[in-house]
Amino acid sequence: MDRKGKIVFYEDKNFQGRSFECSTDCPELSSHLSRCNSIQVESGAWVLYEHPNFMGSQYILTRGEYPDYQHWMGFNDSIRSCRMVRNHTGVFRFCLYKWPDFQGQIMECSEDWPSLYDRFHHHEVQSCNVLDGAWVFLSILTTGDVSTCWREASTAASVTGMPCILLSAPSAVFRSCRFFSV
């Protein structure tokens, strides 16, 4: 069963300026706010995206106050969509594939992997099918660490470009993964 979530976005730092309250997934925030400089997460866990339709760099926020975008490790004041992380009980599972479009060697996982290479024996993951739960994948790029959140609803997503995979870097090399529970 999903829990209710609530997040409030503010245009200015320190919870000032125009605000927008959200309790559901929102693919387009720019019609409500021109920028986002502070956030209050009153309940639930949320994935924020720098671009509309759940695209671009992502930030995972849990309950708390974020008086400016540096507090959520943001690069700028651009938050254009958000998605609530659904509560999940039971087994967390996903399948990794060596090639795009769910081709090649497959490996099913239901636990945290500190190193994907140690378990999957490939340097790159080209597609992933999340079967149950929500997962956070961490990649190391030349620009630093990037978190990518895959969730159960993204079961038909490929790392190489389908928008529901929620990637900030389609050519990312994922180094580790953890399940994410609310």
**How far out from the chain centre does Cα 42 lie?**
18
| Phi, psi (degrees; rounded to nearest 5) at 15 | 60, 40
CA distance 77 to 158: 28
> What is the pTM (predicted TM-score) of this model?
0.66
The whole-number pLDDT of residue 124 equals 67
How many separate domains does the chain show?
Answer: 2
Question: Letter for the amino acid at 37?
Answer: N
The whole-number pLDDT of residue 150 equals 44
Within 10 A of 12 (CB to CB), how many other CB atoms are there?
15
The whole-number pLDDT of residue 130 equals 77
Chain segment 136-150, per-residue pLDDT in tens: 766 544 444 444 444
CA distance 55 to 48: 9
Chain segment 42-90, per-residue pLDDT in tens: 998 898 999 999 888 888 898 999 999 888 888 889 999 999 887 667 7
Q: Which of 29, 50, 85 is the last residue of a domain?
A: 85
| 81 and 97 fall within a common domain | no
For residue 1, being part of any structural domain is answered with no
